[in-house]
Homo-oligomer: A and B are copies of this chain.
């Protein structure tokens, strides 16, 4: 059995300096594991990395392929709509592109999307049916 696990999310970025500045402006602190050509951040239970777009394609065995924005969202859940608004507004202030303003959505929550400098989609959401653990992790209800 393959464990239900992710230990590292790596985002390909076209300008590492710009992306570092963006996530730093958002309040994120880089790990001591960062290097000149790769940035790492500790998140809940895993790490998130920023790595040059071409280097990532090559590392994946897709050398020369154009990767860009893909069919994936990374969501941050919050415990209230107000916190969602705050996170969304902060991101936009830091240079994120608005994709969808936070709004009440059909599944009973409150959600918005912004894109980071390379178009990677971040969702900010409040889901009343999915309470968060004390450390901000999500354990799905049974």
Instruction: Check A56–B70 contact: CB distance below 8 A.
Output: no
Residues of B within 8 A of A45 (CB): 44-46, 137-138
Instruction: Supply 16 further A-B pairs (C-beta < 8 A) apart from A5-B44, A6-B9, A40-B140.
Output: A2-B90, A4-B29, A4-B41, A4-B42, A7-B137, A7-B138, A8-B123, A9-B75, A10-B73, A12-B70, A45-B137, A53-B71, A56-B73, A60-B100, A61-B99, A70-B70
Count residues of A near B (Cβ-Cβ below 8 Å): 69
The 10 closest A-B pairs by CB, nearest first: A70-B70, A12-B71, A45-B45, A1-B27, A61-B100, A67-B71, A61-B99, A8-B75, A7-B77, A45-B137
